[in-house]
Amino acid sequence: GKAAGGLLEIRDLMVVFDGFKAIDGVDLSVGEGELRFLIGPNGAGKTTLIDVITGLTRPASGTVAFAGTPLPGRREHQIVRLGIGRTFQTSVVFEELTVLENLDLAAGFRRPLVSLLRRRRGVGPQVAAALETIGLQDLAEKPAGILSHGQRQWLEIGMLLAQGPRLLLLDEPVAGMSKDERERTGELLTEIARDHTVIVVEHDMEFLRRYASTVTVLHEGRVLVEGDVAAVQADPRVQEVYLGR
């Protein structure tokens, strides 16, 4: 069921680098089961916001709570254990390992002891479920190095799913993908959002129109506009930051 308030609640967040306010008073509330898109021009603060949520960057002030638990001050691995997973622009896939081994390794990162005990008993249910969700069953025993760009992106999403997160943070998941791959990814995100909360940083407007409902627009470290994708796209303030430069 949906918790009262958001699964992720950010209030009055400030992040300062050498006196520069990269995040300048952001409020963000993302409800359980939402598929939320985060957009904004380069330098808007999207990566910084994700970095704060995942424990890479410490805020100067403000609150960040996940399922009621304050996040600032916690380390990256503690935040993973709380149930928050993210993808990076750079690949974390081991090319020499099989698709399945990559998923298994990712699952073990969250619960090393459980993974060790399970090693002799075959694939865990979370790994099997992740493999099925990303649709790479036929490639399970193949080295990840042979995957296409799109398949590799799906594997990275699968590696997050194998960790059993409640919240996934995805950084430009369709960048460099073919039209078919984008479509498959849109369906994948929609499916994942049935039982997870997902925040996606994505610029592709065509993709947003098809798969986004609520969009948050960041600009100069603040939330410029938030709402339904059609309303956000029609908003003159959004058009100005994207087209008026």
* Positions in the binding site for ligand ADP (CB under 6 A): 17, 20, 22, 40, 42-48
Q: Is 97 in contact with 180 (CB distance < 8 Å)?
A: no
CB of 22 to ligand ADP, least distance (A): 3
Chain centroid offset of residue 28 CA = 15
In the complex with ligand ADP, the residue whose CB is nearer, 57 or 63, is: 57
In the complex with ligand ADP, the residue whose CB is nearer, 162 or 232, is: 232
CB of 102 to ligand ADP, least distance (A): 26
In the complex with ligand ADP, the residue whose CB is nearer, 44 or 170, is: 44
Q: Which residues on adjacent β-strands are paired with residue 168?
A: 85, 198
CB of 140 to ligand ADP, least distance (A): 34
CA dihedral 36, 209, 187, 165 (to 10 degrees): -10
3-state secondary structure at position 63: strand
In the complex with ligand ADP, the residue whose CB is nearer, 166 or 203, is: 203
CB of 41 to ligand ADP, least distance (A): 7
In the complex with ligand ADP, the residue whose CB is nearer, 36 or 110, is: 36
SS3 content of the chain, % helix, strand, coil (to 5): 40, 25, 35
CB of 58 to ligand ADP, least distance (A): 11
Task: Dig out the tokens for 176 from the structure.
Answer: 């460099």
CA nearest to 38, candidates 166, 225, 243, 180: 225
Where b means 16+ CB within 10 Å and e means fewer, 29-46 reads ebbbebbbbbbbeeebbb
